[in-house]
Amino acid sequence: MTAAQPLAADAAAAPLAAAAVAGYRRDGYLLGLPVLDDASVRIAQRRFAELLAKLPAGTDINTVNCWHKANRWVYELSRFPPILDYVQGVLGDDFFCWGAQFFCKLPAEGEVASADNRRQTVPWHQDGRYWPIEPLEAATAWLAVFDTDAGNGAMQVVAGSHRDGAFEHRRNERRDYALDQEIPAERIDAGRVVSMDLRAGHLSLHDIGLVHGSSASRDGRPRVGLTFRYSPSHVRADLAEWPFFEAYPLRGTATIDNPIGKVPAGDGVPTGRFQRSEEFV
Would you place residue 216 in the very low, low, confident or very high pLDDT band (cuts 50, 70, 90)? confident
pLDDT (mean) for 172-183:
70
Report the alpha-carbon distance of residue 144 to residue 204 in Å, rounded.
8
**In terms of Cα–Cα distance, which of 214, 219, 229 is closest to 124?**
214
The answer on pLDDT for 148 being more than 80 is yes
- Phi, psi (rounded to 5 degrees) for 192: -105, 5
CB 13 within 8 A of CB 173: no
Q: What is the pTM of this model?
A: 0.93
Ordered strands of the 29-34 beta sheet? 29-34, 202-207, 139-144, 223-232, 95-105, 248-251
Phi-psi region of 75 (alpha: psi -120 to 50; beta: other; left: phi over 0): alpha
Which of 77-91, 166-180, 220-234, 261-275 shows the lowest per-residue confidence on average (mean pLDDT)?
166-180
**pLDDT of 265:** 96
Residue 48 or 181, more confident: 48
pLDDT recorded at residue 211: 94
According to the CATH classification, is domain 18-55+74-256 in 3.40.50.300?
Answer: no
Pairing of strands 133-134, 236-237: antiparallel
Lowest mean pLDDT among 2-6, 10-14, 236-240: 2-6
pLDDT at site 180: 66
Asked if the model's pLDDT at residue 111 lies above 80, the reply is no
pLDDT tens, position by position, 188-201: 899 999 999 999 99
Q: What are phi and psi of 231, to 5 degrees?
A: -140, 155
Residue 110 confidence class, pLDDT cut points 50, 70, 90: very low
Partners of 203 in beta bridges: 33, 143
What is the pLDDT at residue 68?
Answer: 98
The chain-wide mean pLDDT, for the chain, equals 91
- How many of the other CB atoms lie within 10 Å of CB of 176? 8
Report the distance separating Cα 45 and Cα 24, nearest Å: 28
Per-residue pLDDT, 166: 81
Sequence ranges of the domains in the chain: 18-55+74-256
The distance from CA 147 to its chain's CA centroid, rounded to whole angstroms, is: 15
**Which residues are registered as beta bridge partners of 267?**
71
C-alpha to C-alpha distance for 64 and 61, rounded to whole angstroms: 6
Lowest mean pLDDT among 158-172, 219-233, 244-258: 158-172
